[in-house]
Structure 1
């Protein structure tokens, strides 16, 4: 459920973090608020993109190669296949939480940035 209760609670928590960063800054103006929201949204954007790449099975082949190499180097004494592929580690609901937070925070930041340049 993309628009669940936990998404909105986490969004309010993120906005509270951005507000704390805003009030801790030297100046309290619109640009400082935009920067504060950027700091929080950048974290979510990077984590969401990293999880998206992992979930897209990009790293599975590389991981499989390193595991085969490790098995050859240890002469079959260690079994590296027990952890599964990295794409199986990523939970879809956690990825959707991260994507939702990043999208809403970046959207809010862009709206405020448009207001900043229009004023």
Structure 2
């Protein structure tokens, strides 16, 4: 995925352009910036969720729910498999996280550059 990151960035920009052409009522610079924001927002939210997951924030919650379920279950699990199941922070895909982070940061930088150009042209 590392070699194709720029290709996917170009695909995201083309997708933003197509979405701009299809869904925009007025073809102006502001609407293109807004469309690009929606695409970059998607990557940023997923990246932040994965960052929080990597930090083991959800591990305690998951462990508590698993323990509660095993205690309250009518069919007790005598092997106590819930203790051996991997926690959310243990299930991670570093390549996908780096991909999402690169796409989100790259689109955000492009978005900021476009906003600077927009405000420079306004004056």
Provide the TM-score with structure 2 as the length reference. Answer: 0.87
Q: How many positions carry a matched residue from both structures?
A: 117
**Aligned equivalent of 1:93:** 95
Q: CA deviation at 1:88?
A: 1.8
Distance 2:35 2:118 in 1: 14
Any residues of structure 2 matched to 1:1-119 within 5 Å, and which? 4-24=2-22, 25-74=24-73, 76-77=76-77, 79-81=81-83, 83-119=85-121
Distance 1:48 1:104 in 2: 12
Query: What is the aligned-residue RMSD (CA, Å)?
Result: 1.6
Distance 1:52 1:96 in 2: 10
Q: CA deviation at 1:90?
A: 2.1
Distance 1:40 1:8 in 2: 16
With over 3 angstroms needed to count, the CA separation of the structure-2 counterparts of 1:82 and 1:17, relative to structure 1, is farther
Q: CA deviation at 1:82?
A: 5.2
| Structure 1 residue ranges, 4+ long, deviating more than 6 angstroms after superposition | none
Provide the TM-score with structure 1 as the length reference. Answer: 0.90
